[in-house]
């Protein structure tokens, strides 16, 4: 497949990389939003599981057994001035030069080297088992190589976001082919790089940029007619965050409609087999990746907390009341309602918010083109992914998780960009006829539905007739006459 405009996609990727570096530098050596959970968990895993510490650790977090300010121990070790008392966690952070002295004076067995931990209860023993460990392993390695600094926390996510932008170009090229596919690809790459929610999640140490990365990578594999590779990529992404599994739904829709020969499944079989295969593969890979953790705490405890308990956690509402962060439904992500505040200060604030006019247009047009995409496969590639992911998030909402947050929309951002870029260029290429065709298909929908019902009835009668030993299904009158 010839690539002529790849360098333009690289420019979009480089622009996001530069912007994310600037944002990460501005945020500096402080925890932003949920970084407090993932970075601290990574530091604890590095200490407790791998028995190591970040390079050139500036100090240590020490658990205080009696949960009282260790004034005497700090005075004896001559580090009262630089110590930080962490009341919520019954811990104290002290500089490197007096850490061992304070640990001995307190007779503490829990010492975690690194930067000052966040302010939350029981954080010094927290491993974030409700999420798979692979993203934390990445932060662990980055800390071990580059030290416990904000660059080590955020650089992996910056790189992941930049790779995702280029893969958007590859996804569009694989789906559409030719110069048209390349033009859609570079347009979608720039739209992804300019997406506010994707920009924000690419600059901080959270998990959702990995969800977007492996969703787009799975789409690339699927459009290149490698469905098993797509399932494998979803399984690996599952070890970063469970919500990557939602990418199996658009995979199933696309395979069911296109009937890929390599899969060897009928349409209805694909709709349940592909998500089930991705889930089983994801759990299997997660078991392998998590081996260092369950070897430490035991397999049964790990499975109960990190698989069974985590699934229950993902399908339940985490917070109730006015003190909770602003939750939103998937439709509200498109409307830019209740955006999640990541960092708020007067000179600069960071919200996980999409650009509402563009996303509203994408949602409305996606609904309008549903019949055309599914009936005649026009725009099926971007439509199936955007629609499938929306269905997945609403299934999670229907299962009982009403604490969904707008930064989850980072997974949707590349596919919103794909849909908008395809629709704009297809409108220009067809001189607007594609919109007329979309309306016509809806007008013909009642007749198509009647024909589909008749065809389905024939198939059901044929299947039942074979099971009953005849060509058709006998009705009640034939039965009576026979008797």
DSSP structure string for 233-244: HHHHHHTT-GGG
Q: What phi and psi values does residue 394 have, to the nearest 5 degrees?
A: -75, -25
pLDDT band at 463 (very low <50, low <70, confident <90, very high): low
pLDDT reported for residue 476: 42
Residue-wise pLDDT tens digits, 117-144: 998 888 999 999 999 999 999 999 999 9
pLDDT reported for residue 260: 54
> What mean pLDDT comes out for the span 359-368?
95
> What mean pLDDT comes out for the span 375-403?
92
Edge-first strand order for the sheet with 91-95 is: 84-86, 91-95, 59-63, 111-113
> What mean pLDDT comes out for the span 290-316?
94
Q: In the block, which residue shows the tokens 């970063």?
A: 240
Residue-wise pLDDT tens digits, 34-47: 999 999 999 999 99
% of the chain surpassing 90 pLDDT: 71
Residue 255 has pLDDT above 60, yes or no: yes
Residue 18 has pLDDT above 60, yes or no: yes
What's the helix, strand, coil split of the chain in %, to 5?
65, 5, 30
Interhelix angle 413-430/150-176, rounded to 10 degrees, is: 30
**DSSP 8-state assignment for residue 266:** -
pLDDT reported for residue 82: 87
pLDDT reported for residue 36: 93
Asked if residue 238 lies in contact with residue 244, where contact means CB atoms within 8 angstroms, the answer is yes
Residue 53 has pLDDT above 90, yes or no: yes
pLDDT band at 376 (very low <50, low <70, confident <90, very high): confident
pLDDT band at 477 (very low <50, low <70, confident <90, very high): very low
* pTM for the model: 0.90
Residue 341 has pLDDT above 70, yes or no: yes
Residue 396 has pLDDT above 60, yes or no: yes
pLDDT reported for residue 181: 95
DSSP structure string for 59-113: EEEEE-TT-S--HHHHHHTT-TTT-EEEGGGTEEEEEGGGHHHHHHHHT-S-EEE
> What mean pLDDT comes out for the span 241-252?
95
pLDDT reported for residue 441: 86
> Which among 210, 286, 195, 221 is positioned nearest to 244, based on CA atoms?
210
Considering only 120-124, 283-287, 289-293, 423-427, which range has the smallest mean pLDDT?
120-124
> What mean pLDDT comes out for the span 455-478?
56
Considering only 98-112, 155-169, 196-210, which range has the smallest mean pLDDT?
98-112
pLDDT band at 461 (very low <50, low <70, confident <90, very high): confident
Residue-wise pLDDT tens digits, 401-460: 999 999 999 999 999 999 999 999 999 999 999 999 999 888 876 665 566 667 667 766
pLDDT reported for residue 109: 86
- What is the domain partition of the chain in residue ranges? 35-128, 150-430, 446-482
Residue 326 has pLDDT above 60, yes or no: yes
pLDDT reported for residue 263: 52
pLDDT band at 4 (very low <50, low <70, confident <90, very high): confident
pLDDT reported for residue 259: 65
Beta bridge partners of 352: 340
Residue-wise pLDDT tens digits, 64-88: 998 889 999 999 888 888 899 998 8
Q: What phi and psi values does residue 119 have, to the nearest 5 degrees?
A: -100, 95
pLDDT band at 147 (very low <50, low <70, confident <90, very high): very high
Distance CA(82)–CA(127), nearest Å, equals 27
Q: What is the mean pLDDT of the chain?
A: 89
Distance CA(249)–CA(278), nearest Å, equals 10
Asked if residue 327 lies in contact with residue 404, where contact means CB atoms within 8 angstroms, the answer is yes
DSSP structure string for 328-366: --HHHHHHT-SPEEEE--SS--EEE---HHHHHHHHHHH
């Amino acid at each position: 497949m010839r690539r002529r405009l790849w360098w333009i996609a690289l420019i979009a990727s480089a622009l996001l990389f530069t912007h994310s570096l600037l944002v990460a530098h501005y945020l500096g050596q402080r925890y932003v939003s949920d970084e407090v959970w993932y970075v601290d968990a990574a530091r604890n895993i590095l200490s407790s599981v791998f028995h190591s510490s970040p390079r050139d650790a500036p100090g240590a977090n020490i658990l205080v057994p009696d949960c009282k300010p260790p004034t005497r121990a700090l005075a004896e070790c001559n580090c009262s001035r630089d110590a930080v008392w962490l009341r919520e966690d019954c811990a104290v952070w002290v500089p490197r030069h007096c850490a061992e002295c304070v640990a001995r004076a307190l007779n503490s067995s829990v010492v975690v080297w690194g930067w000052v931990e966040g302010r939350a209860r029981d954080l010094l023993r927290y491993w974030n088992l409700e999420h798979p460990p692979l993203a934390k392993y990445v932060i662990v390695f980055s800390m071990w190589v580059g030290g416990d600094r904000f660059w080590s926390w955020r650089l992996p996510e910056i790189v992941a976001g930049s790779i995702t932008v280029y893969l958007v170009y590859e996804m569009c090229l694989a789906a559409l082919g030719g110069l048209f596919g390349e033009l859609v690809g570079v347009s979608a790459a720039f739209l992804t790089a300019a997406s506010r929610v994707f920009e924000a999640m690419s600059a901080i140490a959270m998990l959702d940029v990995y969800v977007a990365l492996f969703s787009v990578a799975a789409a690339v594999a699927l459009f290149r007619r490698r469905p098993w590779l797509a399932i494998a990529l979803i399984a690996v992404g599952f070890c970063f965050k469970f919500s990557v599994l939602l990418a199996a739904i658009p995979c199933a829709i696309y395979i069911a409609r296109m009937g890929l020969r390599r899969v060897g499944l009928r349409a209805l079989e694909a709709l349940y087999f592909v998500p089930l295969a991705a889930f089983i593969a994801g759990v299997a890979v997660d078991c392998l990746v998590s081996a260092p953790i369950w070897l430490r705490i035991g397999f049964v405890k790990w499975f109960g907390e990190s698989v069974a308990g985590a699934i229950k956690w993902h399908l339940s509402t985490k917070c109730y009341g006015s003190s909770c962060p602003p939750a939103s439904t998937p439709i509200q992500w498109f409307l830019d309602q209740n955006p999640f505040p990541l960092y708020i200060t007067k000179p600069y604030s960071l919200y996980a918010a999409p650009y509402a006019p563009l996303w509203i247009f994408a949602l409305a047009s996606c609904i309008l083109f549903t019949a055309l995409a599914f009936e005649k496969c026009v725009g099926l590639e971007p439509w199936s992914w955007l629609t499938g992911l929306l269905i997945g998030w609403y299934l999670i909402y229907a299962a009982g998780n009403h604490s969904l947050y707008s930064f989850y929309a980072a997974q949707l951002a590349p596919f919103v960009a794909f849909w908008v870029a395809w629709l704009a260029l297809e409108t220009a290429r067809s001189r607007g006829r594609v919109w007329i065709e979309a309306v016509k298909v809806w007008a013909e929908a009642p007749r198509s539905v009647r024909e589909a019902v008749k065809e389905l009835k024939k198939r059901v009668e044929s299947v039942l007739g074979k099971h009953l030993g005849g060509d058709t299904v006998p009705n009640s009158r034939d039965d009576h006459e026979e008797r």
